[in-house]
Structure 1
Amino acid sequence: MRIHQLHQQFCAKHERHERHGLHGGHHGHDHNEKGCMGGGKGRMRRERLFDANDIRLLILHFLSSNTAHGYELIKSIEAIAKGEYVPSPGIIYPNLSLLEEMGLITAVQSDSSKKAWMLTEEGHTSLAEQQDELSHVIARLESLGVLGDNRRIPEIQRAIHNFKIALNTKLGQTDLPKETLYSIIDTLDQAAKDIERS
């Protein structure tokens, strides 16, 4: 079964328990942070590059071959994106806990004091059913890495630097005529179109 379907079932069960008073307030707050409850501070922020389901898929993917700590999962995702995207511990660890409660991963003994994780049979099955989605997520990560490589080209860096200086210098002037501002806007819009079409 796909992760988002399992997640919906898990959250529905949690909400039933909440209605019947089977969980205390603190436990409910934990699940709110995992995206189960609608609205409020617990809602997953949509401005993130990857949503919670993407992150859970990546976690299952990396755990399918080896056990790993949360920090190792963060570094694995960062490596594919070549440093252009690094998920925070506040994204990884709540989703690890959620995946464990959903029965897709389990904690294992580790040589260090850190908690390590591995896939369960259900986790392998769920991951196998979502290979297309996983491929898209990994492709997006890899595209960020390519973006980072291109941004590091010296000529690109120089051009971006010169652009920022020119724009900031002009916009920093007091009493800038409206005609100049409109001209700057037109130039920026045209530059964006030219880049898109190149």
Structure 2
Amino acid sequence: MMGHRHGHHPRWRGRRGWGGFAEALAGLGAAMEDDERGRGHRRRRLGAGELQLLLLSLIEESPLHGYAMIEAIEARTGGAYAPSPGVVYPTLTLLADMELAEERADGSRKLYAATAKGKAHLDERREDLNALLERLDAAGEANTRADAAPVWRAMMNLGSVLKGRMWDRGADREAMLEAARIIDEAAHKIERL
């Protein structure tokens, strides 16, 4: 899938609903981490700059608590993505250090608001933000059409098996060719779904 804009692969487009699913998966990237909160699904990570931009956009109009931002992102993506508090709060602190956001006391909790400098930064990066929001929306649409968890589990399982059988044990050429044939056959079957 590399070499195509935003991870789009021409063979996936227009395949009875799989196009948006594949694009959403590619757009959010292959970086995966187990959900440490035990909520039963995996989380995809955004790049640091992307998360900064996304959080800043959430507080552009009105201040929010960190958890409200997490919930807003999760709601926008239909549960396909929600950053962990361990990533969100350091990012908010960084935004404050960069004078793009400011912390405000709200009882024992903190509210975060975009500063004038932060709003100007968003205006400069509006095109990047819009592209990011489109990816998140596509992930949300795909997640409501199909539960991606079984596909991700199968992909991770395949990667693990390939690593164990092919590279760690130094499989011979015939085993490598047979594995490639099986994978190609599966790809052709999935393409026809």
* TM-score, normalised via structure 1 length: 0.57
More helix by share: 1
Deviations 1:104-140 (A, max 9, x none): 1111232x42100101100000000001110111111
Instruction: Give the Å deviation of 1:196.
Output: 4.6
Q: Say which of 110, 119, 125 aligns to 2:120.
A: 125
Distance 1:53 1:180 in 2: 42
Q: How many residues align?
A: 135
Q: Which structure: larger Rg?
A: 1
Q: Say which of 76, 88, 98 aligns to 1:92.
A: 88
Specify the SS of the correspondent of 2:102.
strand
Specify the SS of the correspondent of 2:109.
coil
Q: Say which of 45, 65, 69 aligns to 1:69.
A: 65
What does residue 146 of structure 1 align with? 141
Partner amino acid, structure 2, of 1:74: I
Structure 1: state its 5+ residue gaps: 1-45, 168-178
Distance 2:134 2:188 in 1: 25
For 1:1-198, list aligned pairs within 5 A.
47=31, 49-110=45-106, 112-152=107-147, 186-196=181-191
Partner amino acid, structure 1, of 2:142: L
Specify the SS of the correspondent of 1:98.
helix
Distance 1:123 1:196, change over 3 A: farther
Higher relative contact order (CA 8 A, sep 6+): 2
Distance 1:149 1:189 in 2: 28
Structure 2: state its 5+ residue gaps: 1-29, 32-43, 159-173
Structure 1 outlier segments of 4+, above 3 Å = 179-185, 193-198
* TM-score, normalised via structure 2 length: 0.59
Alpha-carbon RMSD across the aligned residues, in angstroms, is: 3.3
Distance 1:138 1:190 in 2: 35
Instruction: Give the Å deviation of 1:186.
Output: 2.9
